[in-house]
Chain A
Amino acid sequence: MRSLVRARSLVLGLVLGPVLGCDRPPEVVKPGAPSTLSPSHGVVLEDTTPKQDVRLLPAEAYMRSYLQLFGGLAPVDVQARARGADGAQLFDTWDDYLSALGFPDYRNDLPRGTQTNAIMVATFERLGVALCDRALEHDWKAKPAPPPLKERVVFAFDEPAAPADAKAFAPRFDVLHRTFLGYPAELAPPDRVKNFFELYQGVAKRHAAPGVKSRFSPDEAGWAAVCYGLVRHPEFQFY
């Protein structure tokens, strides 16, 4: 309703404005009397150091990291694994993602993408979700038994008794944090563990609600969401 009122006002203004103002004399700004400028409050040296910014992970490095997180497989094998046979449609084909990831196309003279854009970020998201879901299935839900801890690339910890409390969450989160962002969570901004714990709790809670259908248990969904958050984190995509 409010937007409707605003739109009406805009239309009225557009229609009546020129009509009401057409006979108004033009505004004239006369020069004022000379005056001294207010005194300086001290001199600040100009900062001439290079204004460096974060670098986007080269597309090749992104892909190699992705392959490594998938267990060091070849691209076609990762594609087969990520696509799966369960109809989840988590992954299309690498060919569909190359230009979005910023790979150059020498044949068609398309340069490398060195800055993110909406399509690239969406692709990071899609690939990240595929990675986390398949990794969770592999690390925790494989039949007849999940692989031993040392063979897990992503969820390299035992699944805590659901739901995890903050104490159980933190060391496990640290494993994921190191995996994706390359440093201990304790060195991250202060609220990071807390924020991700809230994310975990929120997702787990929503998945526990009656009627929610999911391939994952509430706890698994919570951990998968934490993984999504890290694999899509700017600190993963930049360096």
Chain B
Amino acid sequence: MGSVNEIDFGTPPSTSENLVELVIDGQAVRVPSGSSILRAAQTIGAAIPKLCATDSLQAFGSCRLCLVEIEGRAGAPASCTTPVAQGMVVKTQTPQLAKLRRGVMELYISDHPLDCLTCAANGDCELQDMAGAVGLREVRYGDQGKNHLDLPCDESNPYFTFDPAKCIVCSRCVRACDEVQGTFALTVQDRGFSSQVAASQSESFLDSECVSCGACIQACPTAALTEKAVIEIGQPAHSVVTTCAYCGVGCTFKAEMRGEELVRMVPHKDGKANRGHSCVKGRFAWGYATHRDRILNPMIRGSIQEPWREVSWAEAITYAAAEFKRIQAKYGRGAVGGITSSRCTNEETYLVQKMVRTAFGNNNVDTCARVCHSPTGYGLKTTLGTSAGTQDFDSVAQCDVMVVIGANPTDGHPVFASRMKQRLRQGAKLIVIDPRRIDLVRTPHIEAAHHLPLRPGTNVAVLTAMAHVIVTEGLVDEMFVQTRCELDAFEFWAEFVSRPENSPEATQAYTGVDAGELRAAARLYATGGAAAIYYGLGVTEHSQGSTAVMAIANLAMATGNLGKPGCGVNPLRGQNNVQGACDMGSFPHEVTGYRHISDDATRAMFEDLWGVELDAEPGLRIPNMLDAAVEGSFKGLYVQGEDILQSDPNTRHVAAGLAAMECVVVHDLFLNETATYAHVFLPGSTFLEKDGTFTNAERRIQRVRKVMSPRNGYGDWEVTQLLSNALGSPMSYAHPSEIMQEIATLTPTFAGVTYDRLDALGSVQWPCNAAAPEGTPVMHVDGFVRGKGKFIVTEYVPTDEKIGPRFPLLLTTGRILSQYNVGAQTRRTANVAWHQEDILEIHPHDAEDRGIGDGDWVKLHSRAGATTLRAIVTDRVAPGVVYTTFHHPDTQANVVTTEHSDWATNCPEYKVTAVQVARSNGPTDWQSDYSSKARRSRRVAPVEPAE
């Protein structure tokens, strides 16, 4: 078990294709022009001493250790800031350079505590390394001089400390905050010897604008910024490369371990999704894996009134299997089903749908993607031919115009947001279409060219109005449309969007978007160069979610913004493996690779390999399952890694459905809210405890590697396998790689995917097959997957969820940076330091009308239900719109959301709920009842003494 070591080349790579040849220490070297001498030297293993340089940051030239001598040039230029030149002759080691470097190190050490042996960075300190490298033998300045040794350490952040006494003011943290993260929270305060790194206006790190992404710690060459875990545990001994289990960005991390103990997660430079960056969740919020709330033993109970009883795995599996069989015998084969998780691996998801189709013998399998990105699948398949985003993340670096609609990347997809911000700071233009003034609208060194603050629920009208402008103002990319798209469909669509009723001026009345601003935005999108649309659940979670996705695809086709870098249609996936869960066939109507279950050839392929007959009829979607349960025809459910009670809309309806079932098996890390209604609890494993793959928002399949044994005993794939075996459908996979082998056999787009290839390449983007053995970064390059692109008419149909005298405000929901979805994980980490409860954002006008002030308790009331939470008065939301997050079960924001859903996919309309807000002085009846019920339900009976 070794550590994964990364070479630091000192300065970022040059993208130039021109090679320059020079001589360094007598050795000829060819590097791209624009490379620094420092980088060129490193490529031949001539490591020049350095402290302020690191290859994730632009050269800075402050430490003055990397000085070199260049033939024909006076003095000793810094090799980090000096670019190579043809024929240059460089010496990196001379007596004079050695003297200068020792002199510089002597200065550094004259203001540095000499406590290396007891320092947390001992063994992982560049200052220490450099002192050795330059041969520093004495510090002749004495110990009476001015110094920073007594400065207090800032321990405010829950995850790391800032010890200014150990800071060498190299500005790497400041530059990382600026260049990599783009938050600009850090600065150097004062000047000269008093220069000191400061967070915001010399505030504590916790109170500052710092978002705890960890980039500064990553960049720090000393112990000035150190993870508290390293201080407590010590330096890691080995590391394993794996993939983050939070959002759909899919960051690659090195899990740095000591034995089976995780010391820290460090973003991996070779990660193609994150390029060495991270956010507060992936980097720090993994403590839930060992949280005391985690359930490690299987439990069963006869009814949900009873306390839980801990049992052996064998008993739990046998019991669950027997219950499912009993229910099917009594109520029919279709009375049970399963839900797969976007949190679990591809292999686990695949197994659950396989188990449902083979052991349950029906197609009642659905995934939590139902409630997030199912419209993406439908919309993009219909228009372009494949249910996935068209680009890789790297594409954003070539984007000229970014449209962000219904997404809040800086909170929901922070690492990708940082890459967007890098491009925006280079001058790309930004259009934000969102009811709320998300951070991207105006953030340091970035300002959206246009923010269209539309009324929730009017996406389709706004997107169609943009199409109106593009078509009627002659901005269509005729060549692209002629050669790449179905012309009849285009003509039909063009005629439709051109109608006066679709003009910005006509739609302004109900979208609330200024017509002039919309026209300008549409022109910018159509004419501003490579234009990319990035969207999230603010597009999909509507009654016209699928329509909006198609409207987005229409815009991209009409302007030729597909099939090349810098543009495309890019869904920002919510969870780590939403893409994968969908790819893996966990839909009632589709098997892997989005092939319909009614297709005989497809079914035959699976039947041959699985040795069972498959039902040709699609099964039940999640909402159908719950409806059927309330009606009495659906009685048993296996839920892997999803908390439908908290995450699905209209909580009371979900609760009623679950309560009506006879066997609910919850397979999860924690006794989640759904488990309140469960009869069997199977402990789940974390991403740290199993092998597998996740597929991120850019179709990138990445390895999840086991770094510790499952504390609950089994990886989730093993549990599903046990259950399937007990149900009489044998599975005998010895390792998840064998599952992937089966997936590859059965799925044309995955045909070339093997663990060996993933290990060799780091990751691949599907389609990966004979035609594209190393995967496909950008799709639809020469033609669309469906052949010709198809324009779809997108008529705006207002949602039935309407405001009126009783419910005059529109509620929309979203995420916050520090918490993740239902919060099951992040609430069990120190991330609660930033977000302890869900808060309702309300505009000052609406607050004034209702006598609501900052911090007041308010009751949020809809047709579906009511909840209470605290309010904050802010003009981030428009008048008439309120906003909250849904991370906390105490709030249960979904008590108020309704049963409305997307017409095509049943994706719930989370983003539009008519509500009323009033001052309140306590929790609603539902909250009190639920809270006591959940408390009761979580009781575990004491273990009986052994006989």
Q: Do A and B come from one complex?
A: no
Q: Could you list which residues of chain A lie within 8 angstroms of chain B, going by C-beta atoms?
A: none
Q: Could you list which residues of chain B lie within 8 angstroms of chain A, going by C-beta atoms?
A: none
